[in-house]
Amino acid sequence: MNTQWGSCQATSQSCLIDGFNTSDPAPSDPPNVCEQGSVSPFYIDVQCASDVQNAFAFSKKTGVPLVVKNTGHDYKGRSSTPGSLALWTHNLQSLSYNASFVPAGCPASHAKPGVTMGAGSIITNIVAFAEANNITLVTGAETTVGASGGWVMGGGHGALSNTLGLGVDRVLEFKIVTPTGRFLTANECQNSDLFWALRGGGGGTFGVVLESTTLASPKMTLQVAFAAFSRTNTNATRGFYEVVVDNSVRWAEQGFGGYIEPFQALYVTPKLNSSEAAATMQPLFDYVSALAPNDTGVQILSVELPSYGAFFTNFIAGSGAPVGENAVVASRLIPAANFADAAGRAALVAALLQTLAHASFDLSLLATTPYNVPDAGSARTSVTPAWRGAVWHAIAEGGWDGAAPVDAERAAYNGTSGAADYLRAITPDAAYQNEADVHEPNHEVSFWGSNYARLLQIKKKYDPENVLTCWHCVGYDPQSPRFSCYV
């Protein structure tokens, strides 16, 4: 997805593709060369637990490094390793719904509606499956992200997370092969320490997940609000940010989740009726409507939809991310405290404008935090507790085109990280591990906060030889040769 992780950035070995037409072989035709880069030269197309058990035994005998790859969407290169054997879980695509799923080993009183999905299931299929079964599942915004792999183990946010929680809040059970070769079921009644670690400790760390079961909610009516102006109308961005910052805590309390770009905001809530939703969004609509005389790109919409599937199809699915770009992100969780008083809000708007000015691609403000879903004392999940009080997950994005000298690549990482520094300066140390700065300072605190020490203990219990190690993962070993391609 992000081609720098197919390249070996440190040596510039790559096999470039054209992001606009990925079938076009021209970018890697002579005189260009197509090199292996960081893409694993061998893959196991995982079908069952014994495939994974045999791979762990093989790696132990030969020393060949293993890497787990699902969709290959990872922003931090955690699913590609030079010279490795890849365990590819993409073809584990099964989906089933059980209206009274009981986690194995739990009493019948634990029954809840659940969808069991193979590790390779992707979001677009899950949304369609939920729609067909009259249920609601929390998903991320990109159709092709793997919902049962890295997305969920790293946290998993989506437009409904405000009221329904993160992906990790909703998991009922994992089936996993651990690096010592054990095929385990992890839920709240057995292997509960591993279950907790898998709910936020990150992918590629504790074993290879074959399937997960997630809580299904009833189908729900949603109120959607959308406002946009021309992307080129950058003079309007400050005022737009001011309106959004002034109102965001109220909207979060009212169940709104959504996505804010410098020129548009898309919000959705299951908690209000249509007139309540339109009324509370009025400040946003007023601001954007007032731009209309001079801006032909103005759009305002307030609509009721019958389901999350309808919302996803109409507002999310069409905006799919480009494949084959060299994208670099750096992110920050923005707590409610930053919105509490006028001085804080002014400082936040100033920091957003600075971040936007310094991020070479974009700044996205994601109202996808579990604002109304507590997890006191991190009893259920191991993501950083900072997710709970956060209003936004803000992502600065930069990158470069095609092949670039190593120095230019390093500059893109530094530049995007520097853009996020404006937000770092005014927020506590917390970021989303799946969409974080590759060189996140103090990453253990930032991704897991007070949960890191316990995660490390569990890592040592289930993977005592650190067979599965990935960049800035729990138990990360910076000296490992598998990181030789990072710049």
Ligand X SMILES: Cc1cc2nc3c(=O)[nH]c(=O)nc-3n(C[C@H](O)[C@H](O)[C@H](O)COP(=O)(O)OP(=O)(O)OC[C@H]3O[C@@H](n4cnc5c(N)ncnc54)[C@H](O)[C@@H]3O)c2cc1C
Shortest separation between residue 374's beta carbon and ligand X, angstroms: 19
Shortest separation between residue 151's beta carbon and ligand X, angstroms: 4
Of 37, 179, 203, 415, the one binding ligand X by CB under 6 A: 203
The region of 9-17, 152-160, 443-451, 454-462 touching ligand X under the rule CB under 6 A is: 152-160
Is 143 or 280 the residue whose CB approaches ligand X more closely?
A: 143
Per the CB < 8 A criterion, the answer to whether 412 and 438 are in contact is no
173 lies in the binding site for ligand X (CB under 6 A)? no
Of 3, 38, 59, 79, the one binding ligand X by CB under 6 A: 79
Shortest separation between residue 312's beta carbon and ligand X, angstroms: 11
Of 39, 184, 209, 367, the one binding ligand X by CB under 6 A: 209
462 lies in the binding site for ligand X (CB under 6 A)? no
Per the CB < 8 A criterion, the answer to whether 82 and 485 are in contact is yes
Is 69 or 358 the residue whose CB approaches ligand X more closely?
A: 69
Residue 143's Cβ-side half-sphere holds a number of Cα atoms within 13 Å equal to: 16
Closest residue to bound ligand X by CB? 203
395 lies in the binding site for ligand X (CB under 6 A)? no
What is the distance between the alpha carbons of residues 91 and 89, in angstroms, rounded to a whole number? 6
For 41-111, strand residue ranges (E) read 42-45, 66-69, 85-88, 95-101
Residue type, 288: V
156 lies in the binding site for ligand X (CB under 6 A)? yes
Shortest separation between residue 292's beta carbon and ligand X, angstroms: 31
Shortest separation between residue 89's beta carbon and ligand X, angstroms: 4
Residue positions counted in the chain? 487
Shortest separation between residue 248's beta carbon and ligand X, angstroms: 18
Burial class (CB in 10 A: 0-12, 13-18, 19+), 461: middle
Of 126, 141, 390, 438, the one binding ligand X by CB under 6 A: 141
154 lies in the binding site for ligand X (CB under 6 A)? yes
What is the distance between the alpha carbons of residues 390 and 370, in angstroms, rounded to a whole number? 8
Is 154 or 165 the residue whose CB approaches ligand X more closely?
A: 154
157 lies in the binding site for ligand X (CB under 6 A)? yes
103 lies in the binding site for ligand X (CB under 6 A)? no
* Phi-psi region at 402: left, alpha or beta (left = phi > 0; alpha = psi -120 to 50): left
Burial class (CB in 10 A: 0-12, 13-18, 19+), 31: exposed
Per the CB < 8 A criterion, the answer to whether 470 and 78 are in contact is yes
Shortest separation between residue 127's beta carbon and ligand X, angstroms: 12
For 216-297, strand residue ranges (E) read 217-218, 222-228, 257-261, 264-269
Binding flags for ligand X, 27-56, as an x/- string (CB under 6 A): ------------------------------
Task: Tell me if residue 277 falls in helix, strand or coil.
Answer: helix
Shortest separation between residue 332's beta carbon and ligand X, angstroms: 15
Q: Which residue has the tokens 């084959």?
A: 324
Shortest separation between residue 165's beta carbon and ligand X, angstroms: 12
332 lies in the binding site for ligand X (CB under 6 A)? no
* Closest C-alpha among 204, 73, 182 to residue 482: 204
Of 69, 380, 459, 472, the one binding ligand X by CB under 6 A: 69
How many CB atoms are located within 10 Å of the residue 479 CB? 5
The region of 28-36, 62-70, 263-271, 378-386 touching ligand X under the rule CB under 6 A is: 62-70
89 lies in the binding site for ligand X (CB under 6 A)? yes
What is the distance between the alpha carbons of residues 306 and 302, in angstroms, rounded to a whole number? 14
Of 1, 115, 333, 485, the one binding ligand X by CB under 6 A: 1
The Cα angle at residue 367 between residues 261 and 150, in degrees rounded to 5: 100
Binding residues for ligand X, rule: CB under 6 A, are 1, 68-75, 78-79, 89, 119, 140-142, 145-146, 149-151, 154-158, 203-204, 208-209, 321, 434-435, 470
